[in-house]
Structure 1
Amino acid sequence: MRLSPLCLLAVVAGAPAWAQSPEAPLPAARGQPKFEAGLGAGGGFLPDYPAAGQNHFQGLAFPYIIYRGEVLRSDDQGLRGRFYNDDVLGVELSFSGAFPSSSDNNRAREGMPDLDWQGEAGLALRLTLWRDRETPQRVNLELPVRGVFSTDGTGVRYRGLTLSPELAYERLDLGRPGGRFRAGIGPIFATGRLMDYFYRVKPEHVRPDRPEYDAESGYLGTRLQLSYRMPVTERLSLVAGGRLESFHGATNSESPLFRQEWNTSVALGFAWSFYQSETRVASTSSPFD
């Protein structure tokens, strides 16, 4: 949905996994540290919610840990539990999230409850449709199904489910050794509970320009997202990302909270790894693992 801290900053945090100085051997030759710790930060100009009419700057700084285990991994692709993985098929835990949004700063939602921090967790199926090991690059079809939860810091509430199939292209060592480019496009579908969270207008929140509305499950929108991570040194990396979302034909386009058929997001971040274990993870058959 929104360009999220977990989507963007998990990439930021994982950047040193591929980072290297020009003199350092490639990860394939020496492996990668099994454990890393560092500091990451990022920010962007992001829409307040899907199909919102306003964007605001959001930022986050955080410590991070990278662990490259056989099953559980926290790396450049986020937090993952790899139940099955080979050159063609993968089944993993999948996580994402989104920043909160204050209704006081959004004209369409003025007087309504704020949108809280959101987290998503579920399973994702990855099918590799094509790969070139020499480049290396690949095209995946990814099928994540996630439950969505929100919190204001005092409790957690379940908000529904999302299904977001995506066709993704990934290229390693683009621009310089350790650079990683990713582009993905796909639709998003959500249950009525999550649609209500974004688009429902209860009777107590009705205004002359904001009639009552009860949202329905279905098609939320389509997103195109791009990211590029570039190592500066063996311990410092930069990342840039962007997202273009289309809400043409969305199920809840009649909601008074639905304000724009296009949303754009841009974000920048960095990661600095201040600790890397001497224990290395042996290279696998896939440079994308």
Structure 2
Amino acid sequence: MTRPPPSPLRRLALAAALVLSAAGPALGQTEAAPPARAQERLPLLEMGILGGGGYVPDYPGAAQSRLRGIVSPSITYRGELLRADEFGARLRAWRDGGVEFSFSASGSFPVSSRENRAREGMPDLDWMGEIGPTLRITLWRDPAAPRRVMLETPVRAVFSTDLSNMRFRGWVFNPDIAWEQRDLLIPRSRFRIGLGVVLANERFMDYFYGVAPEFARPDRPAYRARGGYLGTRLQFSYRVPVTEHLSLIAGARFENFAGATNADSPLFRRDFNVSVAAGFSWTLYRSTDTVAATADPLE
């Protein structure tokens, strides 16, 4: 008898167990203040250039991946309410001890259907952006070193644009539990490894996996996608300062789509995707206004 695939809640529970086990018995400790950093202060605002590239799948569950790259202005802002760096931006609406309610955003590259065999003859996948609220909870913090275990529960509205118009594409829920650490191997480095699941509504799923009748063909029947479980993600990032102005960034993501709600879509081609990326951040300007690095070395 074949066992049914684990439910999304069970997958998240397993993810939590794996990451929390790394912290060992210390998880029983309460939230503690981060260690002092010898009166060090950091610029409130930094501006420069961010560039990078990677080898990424065309979309979740795609059979094809390709090299992509981008260069853009970068902003690092260490405000009490607004935080921004090369990993993203968030607006902290409320914070109390180890719990924070904020708004965050992310995005992804477009895909030309002419370059993807499964989507040939279908509309392109446009640039996508996500924005929404996130509850961030510090489950454990080492009182003697800048490292912690975090639970994040982002709920995001998804939009697509071809740069001439914008369309709403649904909702995504991506709970994630992660280990974050500063000064791993190299002073002032930042490391993060997280494990989580991805759930989405019908509208979002249909954008990737739906096939309208006018685009059906013998090897690609019409298909109406359903909302539900999309996959499980394991991802990490590592940022290393090389000089006062230059930092290098590397990361990877491993995605498992076994048991996905729309695994029977003709556009769903792979149960496993891998993404790798590397980049740099070059600082051109630093403000004279500063903030204490002791405020929170993990922020």
- 1:101-250 equivalences under 5 Å are 101-250=111-260
Q: Deviations over 1:238-257 (max 9, x none)?
A: 00000000000000000000
Alpha-carbon distance in structure 2 between the residues aligned to 1:133 and 1:235: 30
1:41 aligns with 2:51: yes
Q: What are structure 2's unaligned runs of at least 5 residues?
A: 1-35
Q: Alignment partner of 2:119: what SS?
A: coil
User: Which residue in the other structure is 1:88 paired with?
Assistant: 98
Alpha-carbon distance in structure 2 between the residues aligned to 1:177 and 1:207: 56
Q: Alignment partner of 1:234: what SS?
A: coil
**72-81 or 150-159, which moves further after superposition?**
72-81
Alpha-carbon distance in structure 2 between the residues aligned to 1:215 and 1:183: 31
Q: Do the aligned residues in 2 keep the contact of 1:187 with 1:222 (CA within 8 Å)?
A: yes
When normalised by structure 2's length, the TM-score is 0.86
User: Which residue in the other structure is 1:23 paired with?
Assistant: none
Q: Deviations over 1:9-56 (max 9, x none)?
A: xxxxxxxxxxxxxxxxx9763211011110110100000000000001
What displacement does 1:98 show? 0.7
What displacement does 1:277 show? 1.1
Q: Do the aligned residues in 2 keep the contact of 1:201 with 1:212 (CA within 8 Å)?
A: yes
Q: What are structure 1's unaligned runs of at least 5 residues?
A: 1-25
Q: Deviations over 1:200-221 (max 9, x none)?
A: 0011111110000000000011
1:65 aligns with 2:53: no
Q: Do the aligned residues in 2 keep the contact of 1:48 with 1:54 (CA within 8 Å)?
A: yes
Q: Deviations over 1:119-170 (max 9, x none)?
A: 0000000111111132211001110000000000001100000000001110
Alpha-carbon distance in structure 2 between the residues aligned to 1:285 and 1:63: 26
Alpha-carbon distance in structure 2 between the residues aligned to 1:76 and 1:236: 12
User: Which residue in the other structure is 2:29 paired with?
Assistant: none
When normalised by structure 1's length, the TM-score is 0.88
Runs (4+) of structure 1 moved beyond 4 Å? Answer: none
Q: Do the aligned residues in 1 keep the contact of 2:193 with 2:235 (CA within 8 Å)?
A: yes
Alpha-carbon distance in structure 2 between the residues aligned to 1:205 and 1:124: 37
**40-49 or 83-92, which moves further after superposition?**
83-92
Query: Which of 96, 108, 130 in structure 2 is aligned with 1:98?
Result: 108
What displacement does 1:76 show? 4.9
Alpha-carbon distance in structure 2 between the residues aligned to 1:269 and 1:34: 23
Question: Percent identity of the aligned residues?
Answer: 55
Alpha-carbon distance in structure 1 between the residues aligned to 2:183 and 2:298: 11
User: Which residue in the other structure is 1:12 paired with?
Assistant: none
Give the partner amino acid of 2:133.
Answer: L
Alpha-carbon distance in structure 2 between the residues aligned to 1:136 and 1:245: 28
Give the partner amino acid of 1:29.
Answer: Q
Q: Alignment partner of 1:252: what SS?
A: coil
Give the partner amino acid of 2:88.
Answer: G
| Alignment root-mean-square deviation, CA | 1.4
Alpha-carbon distance in structure 2 between the residues aligned to 1:95 and 1:213: 30
Alpha-carbon distance in structure 2 between the residues aligned to 1:85 and 1:230: 28
- 1:247-262 equivalences under 5 Å are 247-262=257-272
What displacement does 1:80 show? 1.1
Q: Deviations over 1:91-115 (max 9, x none)?
A: 1111111111111111000000110
What displacement does 1:227 show? 0.7
